[in-house]
Structure 1
């Protein structure tokens, strides 16, 4: 594994058990923003069945499958679970995967509908990991990375690898930070994460944000440039806080469909 991948795996494995508690307000804020924009995302969701359909018929909901990559404790899956029939999470760290799966089981959600797996789809040395070669890890309707792109060594490679997992017309979506022009703010944000999660947290960040032009280029090169969209979310900022510590960052959503 690349050195930064190892740092990510080690650090977030240790931080997994307290992540939901430390960032509960932030998580809920982002979940709300995702759900408010489900129509903008551009997926034909499972819930969108004709209102005139007889509720007593045995017609099943259409299948809509989500790949939640770098899933962490399951922020994206929690946001989109009401609109899909299956959530598949993948994360580098055993701790995050355990938190994701424990939460799903505690809610009575079967593994066939929501389950996370430990692994890496974006290693430059392993383009086709055998653990994820089965058909159950392909042909997704939507793949999402929630606040993970800024941790990747090679975001463009990540976009390509995730695009390979989508069906034609499937949507790739990322939630991440806008670039910040003020260096002192970047330092303050890094110091906040260091105080909350320890000094190794800042070392897992490899990018300080992505402009619309950068994301559009990555998506086009990955073959998911169709119907491209990029927008800033929240009332200008998403708030990260822990106790008396608080910092705000501008967050964007980007989405594009597989051509």
Structure 2
């Protein structure tokens, strides 16, 4: 059997196993390919698998064993899968956070490459907002103070305008101080390495919180005028963030 036919057969098998709920079997099939034909062969297959199938395997992350998919998935493949995670309607977002930490902070990865790929996709900021959902007050405090001091969690929140104006603040703590391979390191990288994306993510997180306070839970039926999506046209992919405004001003000059 030619390698292309072998890959097609494996893709069909993997997809069928995932559809049947056998995620462990699907990952084992992919791992066997890597063992027999090398990592390059698996990367070819991952590039042809549907993002939802890659997501299904990655969501079942088990920190007691290495996952060959988590180790080899590219930033672009990961981003396409991550923006679909909300379809699982996991209100705790535990699987999402474990999956993101396992991939973005793997030993050979550049976390900023992954964050950039996520931010480049529609729904990327919302996926990151879901990642931080359980840490909203801590993220607001970090945006305001530049630290992760828990005593600051309940201070006055920056207004949206103040948040937008804070785009170029300098770090008050070093990355090494928060390199926990978890939400604090993620927040620091977003705040100082992907500044527009951090602001966009926090604006979406605020919109989600307001919607929740108004009794509109995620997944609830909405009218045509209000399709349940959070408006981000004036954030990073729109015109409001500092980098976008600076670019507009330069072009005007």
TM-score (norm. length: structure 1): 0.24
Specify which structure has the higher proportion of strand.
1
If each structure's helix is expressed as a fraction of its own residues, which one has the higher value?
Answer: 2
Q: Which has the larger radius of gyration?
A: 2
TM-score, normalising length: structure 2: 0.24
